[in-house]
Chain A
């Protein structure tokens, strides 16, 4: 057997899961889709005396349309459900596009949005989408629920502000303004593999004028981040200036898949592409 021994509890409600986590004094971990956690258990780089399986909790697997044009996505929603959701495609086409790059079929059948956000891989699509879309992450703990803006949620690679006895229960995506174009580009060795880097953008136009621009980066920082100087440069001087500025917003690492310099080059090239695409789509 690959993982070290552990005890296992199958929670049937959020309250039960939180109580089990709280009773363990911070030692227990949550098991959702398991697609990042179980490899780490198999390698024994992670172990815990107790795993709380939340897969059996009813009501966490949902995609709900909101009146403001937004969506509430339950934490146990599988990647496959997001990828094939008509609500996601119609309301957040940028997320629909990003989902095509999330792992491979068998992983998408199990992996969950709550798990991906909690795992907080800086090169993963869903954390970056949460930052781009100004998501509110709803977490439940012993004292009830709290909402955490995605921009405050990720603190370091594989690290979030979640307490050991808190679990993500839902993600709220506020609706986008009417004329919003989008762009998404990522560079990976093969589609579905871990991204070397990725960039996404939203451009809102009102009466021919760009009124709002959001650009987010993945694999280019120790957390997913908004590219604030690229956003400002785009408003002042356009696409080329924004692409160059994106290099400054990136603070990438060297690793097996690419040097920091190469990643900065990707930040520039992909920012150019996503802004071009977003501007075109906002003009239609």
Chain B
């Protein structure tokens, strides 16, 4: 047995302390330890993007990050974007543009788009496609996802 390590991670504004095995992935910490099952795990090797969360403001694959590496960090998950009764602006745009079918990829799409909307001008739809290229949707819903991020970017820019 390996020694457990004490960590404190601020998740969606709340400090969460736990003793974890070093091999515990951040995705599993969020889902299993904190019951934040909005973060989905798909491929678990960094290809699909479903598990994307923000760590200290940057989008990261939570399946390629160990929980011990998030010690002291601020993590934002899809649960931070809004609630069922009150969707956030990006979630609202996804709803209006029908940017999801089965919804499995959606949390990762939303967190990647959140990072993109904070960091990039997103002047063209190609910029949006490039930013989303690390997230896979198997319902072939890309057109509407691009349209939703476009709509959110326009709202952000007061257009």
Contact = CB atoms under 8 A, between A and B. Distances in A.
Given A38-B65, A80-B58, A106-B52, A5 B21 contact: yes
Interface string A12-30: 0000000000000000000
Interface residues of A, number: 31
A10 B116 CA distance: 30
A262 interface: no
Nearest to B64: A38
B70 to A, nearest CB: 11
Contacts of A107: 46, 61, 64, 134
B28 A1 contact: yes
B152 interface: no
Interface residues of B, number: 33
Nearest to A193: B133
A259 to B, nearest CB: 23
Contact of A105 (B64, B66, B134): B134
Contacts of A41: 23
Given A104-B134, A191-B130, A109 B1 contact: no
Contacts of B2: 5-8
28 contacts: A2-B23, A2-B63, A3-B25, A5-B2, A6-B2, A7-B3, A8-B2, A8-B68, A31-B69, A34-B65, A35-B64, A38-B46, A38-B63, A39-B64, A42-B25, A42-B45, A53-B68, A55-B69, A104-B49, A105-B116, A105-B134, A106-B61, A106-B112, A107-B61, A107-B134, A109-B59, A110-B64, A190-B133
Interface of B: 1-3, 5, 21-25, 28, 44-46, 49, 52, 58-61, 63-66, 68-69, 112, 115-116, 130-131, 133-135
